[in-house]
Amino acid sequence: MAFRNYILVCGGTGCESSRADQIFKNLIAECEAQGVADEVQIVKTGCFGFCEQGPIVKILPEDSFYVQVKPEDAKELVAEHIVKGREVKRLLYDKEKSAKHAQVEDIKFYQKQFRIVLRNCGFIDPENIDEYIAREGYEALEKVLFEMTPDDVIEEMKTAGLRGRGGAGFPTWMKWNFTKQAEGDVKYVVCNADEGDPGAYMDRSTLEGDPHSVLEAMTICGYTIGAHQGYIYIRAEYPLAIHRLEVAMKQAREYGLLGKDILGSGFDFDIEIRLGAGAFVCGEETALLQSIEGHRGMPTPRPPFPAVKGLWGKPTVINNVETWANVPVIITKGGKWFSQIGTADSKGTKVFALTGKVCNSGLVEVPMGTTLREIVFDIGGGIAHGKKFKAVQTGGPSGGVITERDLDTPIDYASLQRIGSMMGSGGMIVMDEDDCIVDVAKFYLNFTVDESCGKCAPCRIGGRSLCNILEKITRGSGTLEDIDRINEIGLAMKKGSLCALGQTSPNPVLSTLKYFPEEYMAHIVDKKCPSGKCKKLISFEINPAKCIGCTACARKCPVGAITGEKKQPHTINPAVCIKCGVCKETCKFGAVEIH
């Protein structure tokens, strides 16, 4: 049945938390109330990516892009746009104030993006298998089962040059081939959906918006390596992604696309979900396998690698969600097509969760080789509130900071490694001039210390020692000898830790020390925090030349540290002040200063 209009409502976790589900229900109710229900199809999709502007509602065929929509806006959207054919101007994304409404291709956030992994997110109902099939879904699986041999698939993946998107960047075809050639009748396929980096939500959004792409890819891999069972390991705190995976798996089995005798080919393959408890270390593949088997999630020495001896001692292919989502497109469009995107050693695209002090936060998918400047300033819209760019952290707690001097570095595996950072899974956190670089390093170290499994001494003891040193520096007790200790401990952790968590956890502090030595010196020598974030190293004072005695700061101070008469300069008692910063936020005259 053809409809006059299609209303797409973002159904990702971010928009759902802002009442997108109620928007969806209200739109349905309003279409019925206003007599246009038979003319309109309303679809709840996955994430549109432009999370800063959510909840998002898109109406076709006009391609009208409505942002920051509220449930009470549903009545006006239906009455004006659907019934009268007039766009609701106040809800359109139109920062340039042009006379014409902003279609998606006109929005700068999307202009430099190229969507392969996120191709269906924001376009289809992830709980409707027919919509996935309508966009070439399961064509790759059909092609593989009836037109290609396992060796053909390996060759196509090799031509494509796809590398693992979980962080290490290992060639996907090579991993598959190791397992294909490994001895044994029982083999496994595993999807690593245990996304734990602070600020990262790429894999979660992909599963919420396009779960069938992962199921199809895992089945293709099963056929290629000779496996008949797959597992998706996903943290239990992703309930929406889990629900949509369960719905997708049920539908795929009903359509003969999963389970016994897939599409009448004689090939059997099924998938089960295993829930993780949210341990960051279980993102490491050997710890993940231990958890699936029911053991405590702790890494094991390699070799042997999982490709040869993995789940229950059997050869196992493990790839993360983003890697899997690329596979169906490579098969349908060809490895040569895919290899023409990106750079010489980094093919295809990369998905980033762009967050932090940036104007346009959200999910970004760009061709490999796109520069950081393009991502932060063209797609991200630059630094929020007119502040100055300071650094961007890529690779989460395993990565390092990238400063202004390296903003024109292309995003690929080799280039990021050369400047002391890493691709990681795709978290990208932007910092501005108000961020204390020492405090940022301490945040990441605290995270990895909490998430360490404690199995090996370099990680367990080294991480805690680094945290203690940073804590000492931020409270004004640091010494110059601490700099040498940071470097010594960091190097020992990188060389001696059992897994990548311990080997990379010193990266944030080592890279910040390399690029911002002056901030460390300010904390250690001058006993000052230039950014005003380390409470032990700052004091609040009122400039009498600026204070008009309005008493606003005194009335807001939670501990009564501010005194003074009306229309007379006030003062802050440092012995009472808890350095909460409320006075500075309250003062409209800039009289409260940090020293």
Over 50: is that where the pLDDT of 99 sits?
Answer: no
| 3-state SS assignment for residue 57 | strand
CA atoms of 458 and 209, how far apart (whole Å): 40
CA atoms of 44 and 46, how far apart (whole Å): 7
pLDDT in tens, 431-447: 999 999 999 999 999 99
Please say whether the beta carbons of 81 and 59 come within 8 A.
yes
Of 100-109, 152-161, 224-233, 286-295, where does mean pLDDT reach its minimum?
100-109
Over 80: is that where the pLDDT of 72 sits?
Answer: yes
Q: What is the mean pLDDT of residues 6-35?
A: 96
Q: What is the 3-state secondary structure (H, E, C) of 366-393?
A: EECCCEHHHHHHHHCCCEHHHCCEEEEE
Q: Where are the alpha helices (DSSP H) in 295-362?
A: 321-333, 335-339
Whole-model pTM? Answer: 0.93
Task: Read off the pLDDT band of 98 (50, 70, 90).
Answer: very low
Helix, strand and coil in the chain, % to nearest 5: 45, 15, 40
Q: In angstroms, how far is the first alpha carbon of the chain from the final one?
A: 68
CA atoms of 322 and 275, how far apart (whole Å): 19
pLDDT in tens, 473-520: 999 999 999 999 999 999 999 999 999 889 999 999 999 999 999 999
Please give the pLDDT value at position 1: 61
Q: Domains along the chain? A: 5-111 (3.40.30.10), 129-339 (3.40.50.11540), 349-432 (3.10.20.600), 437-526 (1.20.1440.230), 539-594 (3.30.70.20)
DSSP string over 73-108 = GHHHIIIIIIIS----GGGB--TT--SS---GGGSH
CA atoms of 59 and 81, how far apart (whole Å): 9
Neighbours of 205 (CB within 10 A): 29
Radius of gyration of the chain (CA): 27
Please give the pLDDT value at position 386: 93
Between the CA of residue 16 and those of 36, 54, 150, 356, 592, what are the distances in Å?
Answer: 25, 9, 41, 21, 39
Please give the pLDDT value at position 196: 82
Please say whether the beta carbons of 9 and 24 come within 8 A.
yes
CA atoms of 514 and 549, how far apart (whole Å): 45
Neighbours of 385 (CB within 10 A): 8
DSSP string over 216-246 = HHHHHHHHHHT--EEEEEEETT-HHHHHHHH
Over 70: is that where the pLDDT of 20 sits?
Answer: yes
CA atoms of 131 and 226, how far apart (whole Å): 29
The residue to which tokens 């101007």 are assigned? 89
Strand partners, 235: 276
Strand partners, 439: none
Over 60: is that where the pLDDT of 100 sits?
Answer: no
CA atoms of 30 and 380, how far apart (whole Å): 35
pLDDT in tens, 383-399: 999 999 999 998 888 88
pLDDT in tens, 178-202: 999 999 999 999 999 998 888 889 9
Please say whether the beta carbons of 173 and 349 come within 8 A.
no
Please give the pLDDT value at position 414: 87
Q: What is the mean pLDDT of residues 41-70?
A: 95
Over 90: is that where the pLDDT of 104 sits?
Answer: no
Please give the pLDDT value at position 234: 97
pLDDT in tens, 444-478: 999 999 999 999 999 999 999 999 999 999 999 99
Please give the pLDDT value at position 102: 57
CA atoms of 72 and 543, how far apart (whole Å): 46
Please say whether the beta carbons of 196 and 280 come within 8 A.
yes
DSSP string over 464-479 = HHHHHHHHHHHTT---
φ/ψ of residue 578, rounded to 5: -100, 5
pLDDT in tens, 316-329: 999 999 999 999 99
Please give the pLDDT value at position 199: 82
Q: DSSP state, 210?
A: -
Over 90: is that where the pLDDT of 126 sits?
Answer: yes
